[in-house]
Amino acid sequence: MKRFFVTLLLVCFLGMPALALHALAQDAPSVAGGAVREGAAPSAPAAQAPLKADTGDTAWLIVATALVMLMTPGLAFFYGGMVGRKNVLGILMQCFTILCLISVQWVLYGYSLSFAPGKGFWGSLEWAGLKGVGFAPYADYAATIPHQLFMVFQMMFAIITPALIIGAFAERMKFSAFVVFMVLWATFVYDPVCHWVWGVGGWLKELGALDFAGGTVVHINAGIAALMTAIFIGKRKGAAGKAILPHNLPFTILGTALLWFGWFGFNAGSSLGANDIAVNAFIVTNTAAAAAGLTWALIDWIFNKKPTMLGMATGAVAGLVAITPAAGFVSALSAIAIGVLVSVLCYFVVAYIKPKLGYDDALDVFGVHCVGGIWGAVATGLFASKAVNPAGADGLFFGNPKQLLVQVIAVAATAAYSFAASFIIYKAIDLVMKVRVKEKDEIVGLDLTQHHENAYTVLE
Amino acid sequence: MKLIIAIIQPDRLESVKQELYKQEVYLITVNEVLGHGRQMGVTEVYRGVKEMGNLLRKIRLEIAVNEDFAEKTISAIIKGAQTGETGDGKIFVLDLAECVRIRTEERGGVAIG
């Protein structure tokens, strides 16, 4: 009976704001909806012509949004294959929980905090519950697609970012603590940082920082939070002095393939239109991933005698991370340089720095996403060229050293804020409910202890 | 010659192996098995349907040794696997009638080591 009341309370907690916001939002979308309907009917021309969405751009962005959504399940398999088989459902569950949780959070208030016009630090609650977010394009973000489409495209980014952190505390975080951590992290870390870089009035945007598809907002932000959780949650039991073997590498490769596929939506979609920039982003994304995958395999071959599948997959993901902030501003040849160097850097951090420092970043979120993201952001400052994107800027190699400085400021500010804010959230939760599972539960595995399920049967 | 069969917790395998190496026992066969003694397993739930008393994963070791290694092997397994909790497992010791090394066709004590 007690449980029933707790459930009821939870439903009220989530449902009430939704209902309240719904009542508030009643007017706005109907106005916007009416405008679009008028625009679509040739017999009734609209009185004051609102911005009209371009059908080609809209079609591409709908597809791109769906592609980015697929990255989170892809990530689930990428990570799920690398953990022990007693913890694979735990990983899948965490990724899917974020998919569901942030989808709701974004509609209720996440989008508003991130993108509603506001101060330098945060957006406002003006667009809470999507009040005023209609079908007519919002020119400050995307002049040729419906505002709601821009909102849902951004939602997929807000989902994958916290999901990236999962790899750091894999195999040892309590599920209840995980849920609370993710809600708070999305609200107090992702939403502000997203606003800084992409929101109208965001201070890094004002500064001129270039982040095409989310190197700072997504990868550095998540990577630093991952490092923080890995340090403070402690090592996995059994991680001392030996590797914990991946239980299903084909899952990891499947995940890598889905991530690569989805990344076309992530990067080429970030042009917010079906145009030359999207084509360029598509090509450099593929090129950088390929160059980085080859490089990592080659490094494996030289240092460990054989090229490995996991190495090539890791390299490809590192390449995708690194090209993310640069995708709209660099050429295919620069993409090769970015891809080759990211594998060298990430390999060095994962294989040498991590064992030296002794933190247990279980699936190398920091080593791949943060290091790759930082390199990508810096590389944007080096390789960006107005010949590729007139709306961008020239980097150091094209005669503009100032851009490099701006990029470094953006990286440093994001990293510092993300580390500090994530730390406060983590410690607060640890005080109230203990973040780590009991030792016995860790031994038995998260699948059975956190979810009362088993991924694989031994008999039948 | 003895055949020693031990059922242990999966997470103790690593420490049991280390203890065996210390006693210079290197030749072991490992199986994953299911079973339960007094623990009676864990309850699982699938779409609201409860599965009670499911079997738990265990590790089964088989080690064939000469007489003078038997006690050392047994104490190494105990040292590596004992936590004092229910479910630590069991060791069975059997007399072994014969042992043949396939490569050389050697028999008996020489074939074991």
Among the partner residues A443, A448, A452, nearest to B11 by beta-carbon distance: A443
pLDDT > 50? residue A18: yes
Contacts for A307 with CB less than 8 Å, ≥ 6 apart:
A297, A298, A300, A301
Secondary structure of residue B84 in the 3-state scheme: coil
Question: Binning pLDDT at 50, 70 and 90, where does residue A10 land?
Answer: low
Among A23-27, A56-60, B2-6, the least confident range: A23-27
Q: Which positions in chain B have a beta carbon within 8 angstroms of at least one beta carbon in chain A?
A: 9, 11, 14, 32, 34, 42-46, 54-55, 57
Contact B44 A454 (CB under 8 A): yes
Query: Kind of pairing, strands B89-95 and B56-65?
Result: unpaired
Contact B45 A453 (CB under 8 A): yes
Taking CA A305 as the corner, what is the angle to CA A300 and CA A307, rounded to the nearest 5 degrees? 45
Helix, strand, coil share (%) of chain B residues, nearest 5: 30, 35, 35
ipTM here? 0.76
Of B41, B80, B37, the residue nearest B61 (C-alpha): B80
pLDDT tens per residue, range B29-50: 999 898 877 666 667 777 777 7
Residues of A in contact with B55 (CB under 8 A): 458-459
| φ, ψ at A30 (rounded to 5°) | -65, -35
CA B76 to chain centre: 11
Can you give the CATH number for the domain in which B36 is found? 3.30.70.120
Secondary structure of residue A267 in the 3-state scheme: helix
- Could you give the dihedral angle defined by the CA atoms of residues A188, A189, A192 and A196, in that order, rounded to the nearest 10 degrees? 160
Per residue in A369-387, is it b (16+ CB within 10 Å) or e — as a string? bbbbbbbbbbbbbbbbbee
Among the partner residues A238, A242, A454, nearest to B11 by beta-carbon distance: A238
- The chain A residue lying nearest B11, using CA atoms, is A443
pLDDT of residue A3: 63
User: How much is the average pLDDT of A246-268?
Assistant: 96
Residue B46 pairs in a beta bridge with B49
- Beta carbon pairs, A and B, within 8 Å: 24
Go through chain B and tell me how many residues it has.
113
| φ, ψ at B51 (rounded to 5°) | -110, 105
What whole-number distance in Å separates Cα of residue A314 and Cα of residue A299?
A: 12
Contact A459 B34 (CB under 8 A): yes
0.90 exceeded by pTM = no
pLDDT > 80? residue B55: no
pLDDT > 50? residue A47: no
Between positions 219 and 258 of A, the ones with CB within 8 A of B are 237-238, 242
Among the partner residues A237, A452, A458, nearest to B44 by beta-carbon distance: A452
Contact A238 B42 (CB under 8 A): no
What whole-number distance in Å separates Cα of residue A23 and Cα of residue A394?
A: 48
Contact B42 A237 (CB under 8 A): no
Residue B65 pairs in a beta bridge with B2
What whole-number distance in Å separates Cα of residue A187 and Cα of residue A122?
A: 10
Burial class (CB in 10 A: 0-12, 13-18, 19+), A458: exposed
User: Quick one: angle between helices A249-268 and A147-165, nearest 10?
Assistant: 150
Number of domains forming the structure of chain B? 1
Greatest CA span in chain A, whole angstroms?
74
Per residue in B77-92, is it b (16+ CB within 10 Å) or e — as a string? bbebbeeeeeeebebe
Q: Is A439 on the interface with B (CB under 8 A)?
A: no
Q: Where are the domains of chain A?
A: 1-50, 54-451
Question: Binning pLDDT at 50, 70 and 90, where does residue B90 land?
Answer: very high
- The chain A residue lying nearest B47, using CA atoms, is A453
Among A6-15, A169-178, A363-372, A412-421, the least confident range: A6-15
CA A8 to chain centre: 32
Mean model confidence pLDDT for chain A: 88
User: Quick one: angle between helices A221-233 and A401-433, nearest 10?
Assistant: 40
Secondary structure of residue A31 in the 3-state scheme: helix
pLDDT tens per residue, range A423-450: 999 999 999 999 999 988 898 889 989 9
CATH superfamily of A54-451: Ammonium transporter AmtB like domains (1.10.3430.10)
For residues A248 and A33, the answer to whether their CB atoms sit within 8 Å is no
Per the structure block, which two tokens stand in for A414?
A: 């994001």
Range of the domain at B92: 2-112
Measured in Å, how far apart are chain A's first and last C-alpha atoms?
A: 36
